[in-house]
Amino acid sequence: MEMVKRANKLYDTADHLAYITYPLVKDTKLIITIIENLYASLVAGMDALLYYDRLYKRINPYSENFHSKFETFKTKTAPRYGIDRQKILLILDLREIIKKRQESPMEFIRKESYVIASHDYELKMISIEKTKQYLQDSKDFFEKLNRIARHNDRRL
């Protein structure tokens, strides 16, 4: 399915940037690109699982906005597929980072960390180590997603 392929491609891009590209170029600006790719991959994976549930009429129709999809995913789809609370919180954490960055009047690099400053100068620091931890934390989500996709694609 196209959504699963997109999710995997975005995850692979984030992983490659973190473990191959970043050590070569040592450009801290890559951290935010990794975060954005990882977030997009998790959302695409979430959309794919929601699609499967909708296809097999396990869930009711939902609105296409993020909050509606996320709430349906959190309450109905994630428990069905054994996706733990940590993965759900990870999606929210990454969304919050991206949202803070969009609203931020200033961002800069300090001691190999990407720093996002809010309007009231609250700082959010993201290191490459934290970013790699996000990647590790999401790895089993993609293993489950691919297993579910293989199972459901055989049924179609």
The model's pLDDT over 43-62, given as tens digits with 9 standing for 90+, comes to 999 999 999 999 889 999 88
Question: Residue 51, exposed/middle/buried by CB under 10 A (0-12, 13-18, 19+)?
Answer: middle
Domain extent for 93? 2-155
Total number of domains constituting the chain: 1
Are 7 and 44 within 8 A, CB to CB? yes
SS3 content of the chain, % helix, strand, coil (to 5): 70, 10, 20
Q: Please list the residues that pair with 114 across neighbouring strands.
A: 109, 126
State which residues of the chain have pLDDT below 50: none
Phi-psi region of 27 (alpha: psi -120 to 50; beta: other; left: phi over 0): beta
Element (H, E) at 27: none
The pLDDT of residue 40 is 98
Structure confidence at residue 156 (pLDDT): 55
Please state whether the predicted TM-score (pTM) of the whole model is above 0.85. yes
20, two tokens: 């191959």
pLDDT at res. 56: 86
Q: Are 32 and 129 in contact (CB under 8 A)?
A: no
Number of Cβ within 10 Å of residue 67's Cβ equals: 9
